[in-house]
Amino acid sequence: MAHHALSKSKANQIESKEKENWLNVAVERYMAEKGNDKPKGVHIIIKEVKADCLRQTRSQIKLSRSTVLACCQGWQSIQESSSRGRWLTNAEESIVVEYAINTAR
């Protein structure tokens, strides 16, 4: 399959998914630290996760302290919340898009 530039909305989707993955990493690390005698603060965890992201993906992300803490308390991210109202799953969406591209040729 030929490679082509992504639309802005698709690029934003990918970026948002990456940020959500790193947010989950920060939440998991913070929750794991709670059990320690001297747990690291949320700011330190966020700095470490940002550094890991930069090292692995060569891109910077912004993580909010309040968002990390809210997720630790069981709040859902916007992506999780909005995914329930979708008509198609990501896999179904990809199939429909590929079909539309193939039939347009």
State residue 30's pLDDT score.
92
Q: Supply the pTM of this predicted model.
A: 0.68
State residue 37's pLDDT score.
82
State residue 59's pLDDT score.
87
Per-residue pLDDT tens over the stretch 45-100: 999 999 999 999 898 989 989 989 898 888 877 777 776 777 888 788 889 999 99
The answer to whether residues 1 and 43 touch, using CB atoms and an 8 Å cutoff, is: no
- When pLDDT is averaged across residues 19-31 and rounded to a whole number, the result is 91
Taking alpha carbons only, the member of 24, 31, 22, 72 closest to residue 51 is: 22
Q: Could you tell me which residue, 4 or 59, shows the higher pLDDT?
A: 59
- When pLDDT is averaged across residues 31-57 and rounded to a whole number, the result is 89
- Where does 34-89 have alpha helices with state H? 42-57, 65-72, 78-83
State residue 17's pLDDT score.
85
- When pLDDT is averaged across residues 17-26 and rounded to a whole number, the result is 90
State residue 76's pLDDT score.
76
